[in-house]
Amino acid sequence: MSLEDRAKATAKNIEGKAQEAKGEVTGDRKDKAAGQAKQGEAQVRHGVEDAKDSVKDAID
């Protein structure tokens, strides 16, 4: 597990939530969609890190 990679994914998720909220408040569908996309990317990054952990655990 790379703590740095997990931190980056968490930051991307927070950024996405903020952008989505901004889109909700302003009514900007593009901002809202971009925020949701960033959250999806963060979820994928966390999944990759989980997979890396599983492989490392299996090897150890």
Q: Which helix (H) or strand (E) holds 2?
A: none
The pLDDT, as a whole number, for residue 60 is: 84
The pLDDT, as a whole number, for residue 1 is: 53
Give tens-digit pLDDT for 4-60: 999 999 999 999 999 999 999 999 999 999 999 999 999 999 999 999 999 988 998
Q: Which pTM was predicted? A: 0.84
| Calpha distance 8→48 (Å, rounded) | 13
The pLDDT, as a whole number, for residue 19 is: 98
Tokens for 51? Answer: 């997979």
